[in-house]
Chains A and B, each alone.
Chain A
Amino acid sequence: MITELGHFALILAFMVAIVQTVVPLVGAHKRWTGWMAVAEPAAMIQFLLTAFAFAALTWAFVTSDFSLRLVTLNSHSAKPMIYKITGTWGNHEGSMLLWVLIVALFGAMAAWFGGNLPPTLKARVLAVQASIGVAFFAFIIFTSNPFLRLAVPPLDGQDLNPLLQDPGLAFHPPFLYLGYVGLSMAFSFAVAALIEGRVDAAWGRWVRPWTLAAWVFLTIGIGMGSWWAYYELGWGGFWFWDPVENASFMPWLLAAALLHSAIVVEKREALKSWTILLAILAFGFSLVGTFIVRSGLLTSVHAFANDPERGVFILMIMVFFTGGALTLYALRARAMEAKGVFGVVSRESALLANNVLLAVSCFVVFVGTMWPVIAEMFFDRKLTVGPPFFDMAFTPFMVVLGLILPVGAMIPWKRGSLGKAWRPLRIPFVFALALGALVWAIQTDRSALGPLGVFMGAWITMGAVIDLWSRTGKTRDLSRLTRLPRADWGKATAHFGMGVTFFAICGLVAWKQDDIRVVQIGETFEVAGFTMTLDDVRDVQGPNYYSTMGFITLEKNGRALGQLRPEKREYPVAQMPTTEAAIDYRVFRDVYVVIGDPQANGGWVIRTYVKPFANWMWAGTLLMSLGGLLSLTDRRFRVAAGARKVPDGVPAE
């Protein structure tokens, strides 16, 4: 019964979304206030209906209603409750429902917080947002309906893929989707502005919080996915340049670019047309990502042909929205004249350089991801584009970006002088260089990665500190810092986090150590200065799996650091094994232990990895998101959201 109500609510939400697309658009065109006003309640109703449908599906999973095809395929009665709940979106249909729920959520939030928007812009934004909803409602209802029943329900389900039975599933996809879909708001604002034919500072101010929020969610989502891969996949890799990862990384890069270019629109009324284009592309890449992941195109060209219906549907959605928006852009972009005048050496140029680097690096990732398909289709070459390509072709952009970041962050608006901006940064730069050289001198191998990471990390983090320090004025009055706008704190925090992440990635890759050996029970062995003893290996039974658990004592210089319990699990229903690594997390390094197969002579294969600075990577990611959140709480987003720009933003230097 609840299932049918959920199904019904989903179809109703589809209808409401259609109304919300058509009526306000016509209303805004004809200036009929009544028609425009439809958007707001419609957005709310659409969200509530979708939320109800989602709740109904969750209910079916929680109560293990195996008359539902989806529940049978992806759940099992013995599965722990948390995985029954998270299992709702641990499959194609459910995750698409989550996608569209978030589309509706953002629409409802725009209706809610958008009180200050001019009525026509608001009506158009909500209509465009609803049209995205319409496309995905149709996709769900016609090709991926989660509410289909089985004629003969089985006694029990086929269980969820064991790799997904992890707390990571509770957070990673929702955050990622909040990010992907959050970019739809920037897209809706961009298209609405194109229809409206007007982009000004106020528009920049309205669109920035949504972009910021989407970027923060994407950062958290990608960071968590990376951490999940790190502890779950069994050898501590954190980034694989896999097409699926790239699909989430490309929108992140463009969102970061959009974030910065929207500042220029807001403060200086320049880069307008480029910002609109970025907003369209950022969401376009979210759709490209969805298409890549859903269609299976990149797994194999043939997998795409096997399930063409879904792939083609998403391809059509992608072509319609991206193509439509770009056509509109081509027609209207000329109307957006820049107002601000500025020199080649200025904050505006620095932000433009940031945009060029981020956008081109996104392009590199895109070409690398698509190249195997292109090469096979047009050049008849079957080849692989793996991590070495991305490391070589992508990293230089990030290095250049990191190099100019501290200078660009401090150079004044309009017209600056490089010498002046450089002066306070001389000491950090020399200090960072010295640190890098020191590391180069003391490390044993000749890899340049470690020293580079140290230099870049030190340079970017110290640059962020100097940026704040320079705000204390000539008198070095620290109390000024407490009165700084939150956006400035956010900027420094996010940049600092980027420096930390930069350092951590280089450090981890450069200085990790590993060891593989056969260990007898009771045997003691040494890895990278750690003493480890395999005390015992036992069979343990979990709620829906059998586990072989190793008990390893970890010591350093005679001091016990704790017991590690790596596991090998077998899930009988899904008939799949998993490894559960045991990790001793510390500030400067992780010790990461995996247990392998028993050997003929009675020993066990034990793999040990020492991963320096692994935690710094997640900490850096968190700092970046924290910076975004700080910016988001800035007063001007709350107060002046609807007012026209009052000349305040540009500090006279």
Chain B
Amino acid sequence: MRGWIQATVLGLVLALPVLAVPVQAVQPDEILADPALEERARELSKGLRCLVCRNESIDESNADLARDLRLLVRERLVAGDDDDEVITFVVDRYGEYVLLQPKFTGSNWLLWAAGPFMLLLAAAVAFTYLRGREKAEPLQEAGLSPEESARLKRILEE
């Protein structure tokens, strides 16, 4: 909660993302002896959200809860889970809120499809417009109003 408050105060002033407290992230004592396993642990950690921070992965966060989650991920990896099993394990306990990348399921397809759909729509509108411009008759300039002609004359004389 303290993290949220500080983050809000800072966010009020800046477009600077604010992490609650300086980041200490992964501690040396957490690192697994097997480098391949540790590499996988780091990759997985980057996709999991620290529950008490703003948009920060547990790999970057120094909150205690993030540390617990990092240890949990490593525990599961050492126990022999594959990547999907670890993620499923964490999501079952903490909900899909922990996933930094939203799932493709259910109402989320709206989120994922929003960009491509909008692009298609915009491209179609733009193309129709372009075809229209290609065929359009060049419009004659509406002549200048008397006051504008006077103004133009004045400017040209200057």
Q: Which of B28, B99, B114 has the most CB of A within 10 A?
A: B28
Whether A235 and B114, one on each chain, are in contact in the complex, defined by CB atoms closer than 8 angstroms, is no
Residues of A within 8 A of B131 (CB): 344
Contact of B15 among A222, A340, A364 (CB under 8 A): A222
CB distance from A505 to the nearest CB of B (A): 16
User: Of B17-25, B63-71, B72-80, B82-90, which stretch is located at the interface?
Assistant: B17-25
Number of contacting residues on B, CB 8 A?
Answer: 67
Whether A176 and B55, one on each chain, are in contact in the complex, defined by CB atoms closer than 8 angstroms, is no
CB distance from A462 to the nearest CB of B (A): 27
Whether A244 and B17, one on each chain, are in contact in the complex, defined by CB atoms closer than 8 angstroms, is yes
Closest to A355 in B: B126
Contact of A605 among B16, B28, B108 (CB under 8 A): B28
Q: Does A129 contact B (CB under 8 A)?
A: no
Closest to A240 in B: B17
| A142–B46 alpha-carbon span in the complex (Å) | 44
As a 0/1 sequence over residues 577 to 588 of chain A, the CB contacts with chain B under 8 angstroms (1 = contact) are 111000000000
Residues of A within 8 A of B127 (CB): 344
Residues of B within 8 A of A90 (CB): 13
Known: A92-B12, A360-B115, A381-B106. A300 touches B100 (CB 8 A): no
Q: Does A294 contact B (CB under 8 A)?
A: yes
Known: A89-B13, A240-B55, A337-B139. A233 touches B144 (CB 8 A): no
Whether A294 and B12, one on each chain, are in contact in the complex, defined by CB atoms closer than 8 angstroms, is yes
Contact of B4 among A95, A241, A299 (CB under 8 A): A299
Whether A338 and B111, one on each chain, are in contact in the complex, defined by CB atoms closer than 8 angstroms, is no
Q: Does A225 contact B (CB under 8 A)?
A: yes
Known: A163-B18, A379-B106. A92 touches B13 (CB 8 A): yes
Q: Does B7 contact A (CB under 8 A)?
A: yes
A236-251: which residues lie under 8 A (CB-CB) from chain B? 237, 240-245, 247-248
Whether A237 and B60, one on each chain, are in contact in the complex, defined by CB atoms closer than 8 angstroms, is yes
Contact of B152 among A303, A607, A644 (CB under 8 A): A644
Residues of B within 8 A of A361 (CB): 115
Contact of B24 among A229, A241, A243, A605 (CB under 8 A): A605
| A375–B112 alpha-carbon span in the complex (Å) | 13
| A161–B9 alpha-carbon span in the complex (Å) | 9
CB distance from A204 to the nearest CB of B (A): 15
Known: A235-B25, A579-B23. A642 touches B99 (CB 8 A): no
CB distance from A458 to the nearest CB of B (A): 26
Whether B24 and A349, one on each chain, are in contact in the complex, defined by CB atoms closer than 8 angstroms, is no
B88-102: which residues lie under 8 A (CB-CB) from chain A? 95-102
| A385–B12 alpha-carbon span in the complex (Å) | 21
Residues of B within 8 A of A568 (CB): 22
Known: A225-B15, A233-B22, A579-B23. A360 touches B100 (CB 8 A): no
CB distance from A355 to the nearest CB of B (A): 8
Whether A375 and B108, one on each chain, are in contact in the complex, defined by CB atoms closer than 8 angstroms, is yes
Q: Does A150 contact B (CB under 8 A)?
A: no
B2-55: which residues lie under 8 A (CB-CB) from chain A? 4, 6-19, 21-28, 31, 47, 49, 54-55
Known: A95-B13, A356-B122. A517 touches B102 (CB 8 A): no
As a 0/1 sequence over residues 94 to 130 of chain B, the CB contacts with chain A under 8 angstroms (1 = contact) are 0111111111001110011011001100110011011
User: Of A387-395, A471-479, A526-534, A552-560, which stretch is located at the interface?
Assistant: A387-395
Q: Does B138 contact A (CB under 8 A)?
A: yes
Residues of B within 8 A of A518 (CB): 28
A593-651: which residues lie under 8 A (CB-CB) from chain B? 596-597, 599, 605, 607, 642-644
CB distance from B79 to the nearest CB of A (A): 23
Contact of B49 among A222, A348, A368, A384 (CB under 8 A): A384
Q: Which of A176, A229, A353, A381 has the most CB of B within 10 A?
A: A381
| A383–B99 alpha-carbon span in the complex (Å) | 7
As a 0/1 sequence over residues 148 to 172 of chain A, the CB contacts with chain B under 8 angstroms (1 = contact) are 0000000000000101100011001
CB distance from B67 to the nearest CB of A (A): 12
Whether A352 and B126, one on each chain, are in contact in the complex, defined by CB atoms closer than 8 angstroms, is yes
CB distance from A581 to the nearest CB of B (A): 9
Lowest 8 A-B CB distances belong to which pairs?
A386-B100, A242-B17, A388-B101, A579-B22, A248-B15, A240-B17, A364-B115, A379-B107
Interface residues of A (CB under 8 A from B): 89-92, 95, 161, 163-164, 168-169, 172-173, 176, 221-222, 225, 228-229, 233-235, 237, 240-245, 247-248, 270, 289, 293-294, 296, 299-300, 303, 337-344, 348-349, 352-353, 355-357, 359-361, 363-364, 367-368, 371, 375, 378-379, 381-389, 392-394, 397, 516-518, 568, 576-579, 596-597, 599, 605, 607, 642-644
Interface residues of B (CB under 8 A from A): 4, 6-19, 21-28, 31, 47, 49, 54-57, 60, 95-103, 106-108, 111-112, 114-115, 118-119, 122-123, 126-127, 129-131, 133-134, 136-139, 141, 144, 148, 152, 155
Q: Could you write out 17 A-B pairs with CB less than 8 Å apart? A: A95-B13, A163-B18, A221-B15, A289-B15, A294-B12, A299-B54, A344-B131, A356-B126, A360-B118, A375-B108, A381-B96, A384-B99, A388-B47, A516-B28, A517-B28, A576-B21, A605-B24
Additional pairs, 8, CB under 8 Å, beyond known A234-B19, A293-B15, A299-B7: A91-B12, A234-B22, A237-B60, A244-B17, A352-B129, A387-B57, A605-B28, A643-B152
